[in-house]
Amino acid sequence: MRAPDMPHVDVGAYALGLLEEPDRRAFEAHLSTCFSCHEELGALRGLAQTLDGIGPIADPAEAMPAPPEPALVTDLMRHRIRRRRRYRAARALTAAAAGVVLLGGAAGTGFTLGADRDPARSQQDGTAALMREGQRMSAADAGTGITGTVAMQQKAWGSRIGLQLSKVRGPLECELVAVDKRGDAHTVVGWSVPAKGYGLPGSEQPALALQGGTALRPQEISRFEVRTIGAGRTLLTVPA
């Protein structure tokens, strides 16, 4: 409660209805004998009525949202956990069903999964298809006696590259590199040459067939080189 000699400062608070009950009664007793407070109150009442007609001000668009209630956060977390459990269960069931279909199809047609996934056969088939469909370049090296053919096919990610190599003596570790217009080398694929080599008397295979890829597009490649890994010796150069 305010002191008895301070009622003059309560005019604005009284006009807006902010005074507590004891202070309100004290101010009304003072108002009956104070002409200046009576006049000031008359002026402030119009302002109070104007303010009373103004609705709440909306938060600005960039204002930070109010934090959610703890109970709401808990419900959202429980919902997310249940959704993740359902997703994992659905993936497990899908994988199991796919495995059953794959096994059933293999048994029904008389093929085994091991034979169907022979990596050497897949590599040869893929390279042969690339040799038929891609842009081919061939070369031979008089010094090493190696002959080879490179095929390339443009893809959205770069170039798919196929290689057929013959008359290679082993043992060696080699790599095929694509050399761009600036002279920078980009490794396409690497492999090991057995002691008997490829395409030589006593070799188990007449030629090596494999494929790889590079981020370069065909028009960015100037040549291909077959190099030894480590020593970096060039065994064959195939112009692009």
Q: What is the CATH number for 212?
A: 2.60.40
| Cα 225 to Cα 234: distance, rounded to the nearest angstrom | 7
Is the per-residue pLDDT at 202 higher than 50? yes
42-56, 122-136, 183-197, 208-222: which range is least confident on average? 42-56
Residues 45, 80 share a domain: no
| Cα 171 to Cα 182: distance, rounded to the nearest angstrom | 32
Residue 58 lies in a domain: no
Residue 61 lies in a domain: no
Mean pLDDT confidence for 190-201 = 94
Q: What confidence tier does 153 reach under pLDDT thresholds 50, 70, 90?
A: very high
Boundaries of domain holding 31? 7-52
Per-residue pLDDT, 105: 44
Mean pLDDT confidence for 184-203 = 94
Q: For residue range 17-32, what is the model confidence (pLDDT) as tens digits?
A: 777 888 888 878 887 7
For 90-129, b/e burial (b = at least 16 CB within 10 A) is eeeeeeeeeeeeeeeeeeeeeeeeeeeeeeeeeebeebee
Q: At which residue do the structure tokens 């290689």 appear?
A: 163
The structure's pTM equals 0.50
User: Does residue 205 contact residue 212 with C-beta atoms inside 8 Å?
Assistant: no
What is residue 182's three-state secondary structure?
A: coil
Q: For residue range 214-232, what is the model confidence (pLDDT) as tens digits?
A: 999 999 999 999 999 988 8
Residue 59 lies in a domain: no
Mean pLDDT confidence for 64-89 = 57
Can you read off the two tokens belonging to residue 169? 């003596």
Residues 207, 143 share a domain: yes
Q: Which residue has the higher pLDDT, 163 or 44?
A: 163
Per-residue pLDDT, 108: 41
Mean pLDDT confidence for 202-219 = 92
Residue 1 lies in a domain: no
Residues 104, 12 share a domain: no
Rg of the chain (C-alpha set): 43
Residues 203, 142 share a domain: yes
Per-residue pLDDT, 73: 52
Residues 125, 234 share a domain: yes
| Cα 79 to Cα 125: distance, rounded to the nearest angstrom | 49
| Cα 107 to Cα 103: distance, rounded to the nearest angstrom | 6
Residue 88 lies in a domain: yes
Is the per-residue pLDDT at 91 higher than 70? no
Share the mean pLDDT of the chain.
Answer: 76
Number of domains in the chain: 3
